[in-house]
Amino acid sequence: MSVPKKDLQRIEKLRDQIRYHNACYYVHDNPEIPDAEYDRMMRELQELEARYPDTITIDSPTQRVGAEPMEGFETVKHELPMLSLNNAFSEEEVLEYDRRIHDRLPGQKQIEYTVEPKLDGLAISLRYEKGVLVRGLTRGDGNEGEDVTSNVRTIESIPLKLLGKDYPDVLEVRGEIIMPKAGFAALNKRQIEKNEKTFANPRNAAAGSLRQLDPKVTRTRPLEIYCYGVGVIKGKDTMSTHHATLEKLQTWGLRVNPETSVVKGVKACLAYYQAMLDKRARLDYEIDGVVYKVNDLADQHTVGQVARAPRWAVAHKFPAEEELTKLLDIDVQVGRTGKLTPVARLEPVYVGGVTVTNATLHNQDEIDRKGVRIGDTVIVRRAGDVIPEVVGPVLSRRPKKTRAYKMPELCPVCDSDAIRQEGEADLRCTGGLYCSAQRKEAIKHFVSRRAMDIDGLGEKLVDQLIDQGLIDTVADIYSLDKDQLAALERMGDKSAANLVEALEKSKATTLARFLFALGIRGVGETTAQTLATHLMSLEALSRADEETLQAVPDIGPVVAQNIIVFFQQPHNQEVIDKLLKAGVHWPAIEAVDESTQSLQGKTFVLTGTLTKMTRNEAKQGLQALGAKVSGSVSAKTDFVVAGDKAGSKLQKAQALGIKIIDEATLESLLE
């Protein structure tokens, strides 16, 4: 079938445009067009190629879908061996490397080095002939590698055809296939959802993904490449330095790491090492060190190489982020929100620059998924400032006597029930008012302005009272006297007297405030107000079953269960009884007069500054009329009250077409 000239020209133009925009996106990190425009061009090219299949070439941007599954990988000999790098683990070894370079390049005061991150991935060799990708080989043993051409063709950041015209007839590019951290996390999440094996780290994930026998599987994996050098070059070769070579690769559409630089002298190399070590945790990919290379290519040739490694380059390794050690036992820590976390007690091991004796196991699901048992030899990982974690066991080293572990049914701190709600992975202690692991946060919440509003009892003072053993639960604050308070740091007689007065004043509250102050999980201010309005008494709430609670507006099964479990705990009931005996009280609530609920079912959002009332007064007034007051604007919002200097909430309301009222209109509603 003959192809009209205009269609043939259009096909070539689209291919060139897509290649150019691929380079903008993947190589230069500077896209020039929106994704929608890129997709439009790709669809047009696909339609033209479908109409004229004889025009399809192996270097067309459409040809990344992957070939048919293979039975195995063919082993191919590298035309030029892929050498490994010698390692340096200390500053002294780097200084020795620099000294050896000077010995081979006498007369040079300061050697110029290209410095770059040492990527933790899989080395790859890409061969281009007349600008078209024809082969991709893994490093293998350095002399022979596996032919993974079909798989590398699926990786978006690897150009199928080079840009420009000035590339050599044959160009072999060396690089590293990596999987970014975010892509690795997303991949493992998908593996868990499919109940399939997860990957230990991004490097293993990248290697496993590149060596899939079905290229269509590789296509779904978030692989990327950074190019760091060249091998065989036939034809044009005018570069004189390593860094100039990398810059040239970029002009041909090949991706080079943006952290690559040129420095002079070994001190600058060591400074780069420290800078990258500090930056390591913030990078979106894994690195395990940095690489120093003599920049001048003629000098590289002079310095030479040994059998398996160049003398002109060295990898300065970071402290290992993964090590092996023995899991001695598993304890449980209770966090400030009641979350129970299993913690592995380990034989001390030096990893990530520090000695690690404890590592998180997250939750029971993670313990079961990883198959970790007490007594196992385990892989421990520590990345940057991240809390060390157990990656998994080394099954080949598992002794005969190991113990499986199950999380406790009771909180190890206060013996309250530990429950796991539907849809959650974590166990939580239900003794929020009593548990000493949670008491600081429970007390700080209880005394806060929107809860019991105890003026003068701030965070630092709460810390002092707990640390000195003066209070254990929220009920104990009402037994404090002036002398005890005056003896505390930065507290005088007047401050102590004022706080005693504030404590006494706070005893007169509302049921809604009291419920909010208890810190029941899922019961915020609005929910507390709704519960108080509909159930009318603490006794009724404490005895309510799930059906009764779910009959209250906006109370779902999870919050209903939280409330039931909270009031079932004897410890919590004991604290509440002490609070009531200390004199905490509120006025009786009368049954709601439906005729006064003019705003029943309406949702309001307050934004900006009100001049004639506080936001809290406005909120209480609206709630008294049956309205719900939310903190964020959504499609379910009925009205937004816009005060002075209203910001993003007002803009969002305008965009959604939600009715906006001013303070005067609000006053009319409340009247």
Per DSSP, 190 falls in state H
Task: Please check whether residue 374 is in contact with residue 399, taking contact to mean a CB–CB distance below 8 angstroms.
Answer: no
Which is nearest to 113 in space by CA: 317, 312, 315? 312
Measured in whole angstroms, the distance separating CA 185 from the mean position of its chain's CA atoms is 8
- CA–CA separation, 516 and 453 (whole Å): 11
Q: Give the relative orientation of helices 181-193 and 202-210 as an angle to the nearest 10 degrees.
A: 70
Residue 278 buriedness (CB in 10 A; 0-12 / 13-18 / 19+):
exposed
Question: Token digits for 137?
Answer: 């080989």
Q: How far is CA 332 from the centre of its chain?
A: 24
User: How distant is the alpha carbon of residue 529 from its chain centre?
Assistant: 35
Q: DSSP states of 589-607 as a string?
A: PPPP-GGG-TTTT-EEEEE
95-121 burial: b if 16+ Cβ within 10 Å, else e: eebbeebeeeeeeeeebbbbbbbbbbb
Q: 346 - beta bridge partners? A: 327
Provide the residue type at 61 as one letter.
P
Q: Which residues pair with 338 in a beta bridge?
A: none
> How far is CA 360 from each of CA 60, 345, 357, 363, 483, rounded to the nearest angstrom?
48, 9, 11, 9, 44
224 burial via Cβ count (<10 Å: 0-12, 13-18, 19+): buried
d(C-alpha 622, C-alpha 385), whole Å: 46
- Identify which of 128, 126, 130, 132 has the alpha carbon closest to the alpha carbon of residue 151: 126
CA dist., res. 479 & res. 54, Å (int): 89
Residues with a catalytic annotation lie at 118
**Amino acid identity at 296:** D
